Amino acid sequence: MRPNLICRERRFQREDEQIKESKSLHKGPFLLFDNDCGICTRFAQFAESASRRWLRPVGLHTEQGARIKSSFFVPTDRPDEMFWVLLGDLGFGGRSGLLPLLREIVRGRIM
């Protein structure tokens, strides 16, 4: 093998590992919220406790929130304007996220 091909293979392996790592972030249901807002923080804490820790609240302005935003949303999206419920590859924001949020709270209580 030529050295260029070895370097390319290593680069692709690293990119594959990064993709796997970013997808592993979305295995459980996440509740993305504005952690600078006091009401939003209390809302996220209530959702977490009501679901018996099934939902994982993540602040939009934290390190983990920034990683999730960069791997889940397209740069033209504006995820900072509302809360988001992330279920695998699906995301529900704002009012359309209330029913999925309620469903996950019930699911957490049952499990």
Burial class (CB in 10 A: 0-12, 13-18, 19+), 107: middle
Tokens of 27: 């295995």
At residue 75, the pLDDT reads 85
Region 11-23 average pLDDT? 50
Name the percent of the chain lying above pLDDT 90.
58
What pLDDT score was predicted for residue 29?
92
- pLDDT for position 88: 86
Q: Under CATH, what is the fold of the domain 26-110?
A: Glutaredoxin (3.40.30)
pLDDT band at 8 (very low <50, low <70, confident <90, very high): very low
Domain boundaries, the chain: 26-110
Give pLDDT tens digits for 37-74.
999 999 999 999 999 999 999 999 999 999 999 999 98
pTM over 0.75, yes/no: no
Question: Residue 29: is it exposed, middle or buried by C-beta count within 10 angstroms (0-12/13-18/19+)?
Answer: buried
Q: How many whole angstroms separate alpha carbon 93 and alpha carbon 96?
A: 6
